[in-house]
């Protein structure tokens, strides 16, 4: 019996050698494997927009004898997802709720420590330098990595006026947003298992346009590094259905802090400008909490008292 992750490993390893049609199938399998497992080769081809023969060649390109063996590997992948629930029960099912809190926090702390010991500081410095000198900064993260991409972009926007968050539900939208990426630009791709094929496509496009490619992923062997020139590695594995993304977020925090130190005057100026805009347009004027001595009151309550 094959391992649950073998199919995705084969796709990741052979992605660079795939034809255009095969890459479309790989992207569909990555995002919709739970639907693809029930499809015949003809139906899968119809769903993706390629011929049945392309689907069969795709299966053989991955090293399977034919589509039936490929479909069996798909079934193993689906079962592996269900097994993760059982693994979570094995790890956490026999302990109390308070012990779960301690166990998870200790596990997260270990992920950060492991990341600290293995991360490439030269790659980190290269990432900072590439971002500082980029004409445009693109950031992409899909599914569970999307909040980290948004978090990074939020703080990059305080330091730079050339930041673009690539958010997309399809490859066509992705390419539309990256239409003008070029040699003077940089893209930061964030992806952890199961890796997003759409993020990988973004990396491939950026690499083909000679842009600088920075990845934040879980291993030096991650397919995300196939097209990157700067690899930031952070541990994310956990024995449950929920991936721990604490270590990757810590790396993002470090990246933000390093950039802030390089652009201190710009950051202070922009923060002052934002505060002035908030005050001018009363962005937080009606619901901000004020601390007055040892007591707390709502601003709008204070205004009501003044008006009365």
All domains in the chain, ordered by first residue: 6-92 (1.10.10.10), 97-262 (3.40.50.10490), 266-307 (no CATH)
Q: How many H helices and E strands in the chain?
A: 13, 7
The residue among 223 and 168 whose pLDDT is bigger is 223
* Spatial separation of the C-alpha atoms in residues 210 and 204, rounded to whole Å: 10
pLDDT at position 34 is 79
Residue 298 confidence (pLDDT): 43
Structure confidence at residue 211 as a pLDDT band (50, 70, 90): very high
DSSP 3-state helix, strand, coil percentages of the chain (rounded to 5)? 60, 10, 30
Q: Quick: pLDDT tens for 179-201.
A: 899 999 999 999 887 788 888 88
Tell me the backbone φ, ψ of residue 263, rounded to 5 degrees: -130, 45
Confidence check: pLDDT of 111 > 60: yes
How far, CA to CA in Å, does 271 sit from each of 5, 9, 160, 223, 289?
A: 46, 45, 12, 38, 20
| Mean pLDDT of the residues in the chain | 81
200: nearest Cα among 38, 23, 5, 9: 23
Q: Is 226 exposed, middle or buried (0-12, 13-18, 19+ CB in 10 A)?
A: middle
**pLDDT one-digit tens code per residue, 227-259:** 888 999 998 764 455 667 899 999 999 999 999
> How far, in Å, CA of 185 to CA of 214, rounded?
11
pLDDT surpasses 60 at 176: yes
């Amino acid at each position: 019996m094959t391992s649950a992750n073998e199919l995705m490993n084969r796709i990741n390893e052979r992605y660079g050698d795939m034809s255009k049609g095969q890459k479309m199938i790989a992207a569909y399998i990555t995002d919709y494997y739970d639907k693809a497992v029930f499809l015949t080769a003809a139906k899968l081809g119809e769903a993706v927009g390629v011929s049945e023969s392309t689907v069969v060649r795709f299966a053989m390109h991955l090293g399977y004898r034919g589509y039936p063996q490929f479909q069996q590997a798909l079934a193993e992948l689906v079962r592996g997802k269900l097994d993760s629930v059982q693994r979570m029960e094995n790890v956490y099912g026999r302990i109390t709720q308070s012990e779960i809190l301690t166990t998870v926090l200790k596990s997260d702390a270990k992920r950060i420590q492991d990341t600290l010991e293995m991360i490439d500081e030269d790659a980190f410095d290269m990432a900072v330098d590439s971002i500082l000198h980029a004409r445009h900064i693109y950031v992409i993260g899909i599914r569970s990595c999307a909040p980290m991409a948004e978090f990074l972009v939020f703080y990059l926007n305080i330091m730079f006026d050339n930041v673009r968050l690539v958010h997309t539900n399809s490859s066509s939208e992705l390419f539309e947003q990256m239409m003008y990426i070029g040699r003077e630009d940089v893209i930061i791709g964030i992806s952890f298992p199961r890796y997003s094929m759409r993020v990988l496509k973004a990396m491939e496009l950026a690499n083909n346009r000679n842009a600088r490619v920075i990845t934040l992923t879980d291993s030096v062997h991650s397919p995300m590094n196939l097209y990157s020139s700067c690899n930031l590695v952070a541990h994310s594995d956990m024995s449950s259905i929920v991936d721990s993304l604490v270590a990757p977020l810590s790396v993002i925090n470090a990246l933000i802090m390093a950039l802030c130190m390089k652009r201190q005057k710009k950051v202070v100026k922009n923060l002052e400008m934002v505060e002035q805009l908030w005050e001018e347009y009363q962005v937080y004027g009606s619901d901000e909490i004020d601390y007055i001595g040892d007591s707390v009151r709502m601003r709008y309550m204070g205004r009501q008292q003044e008006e009365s």
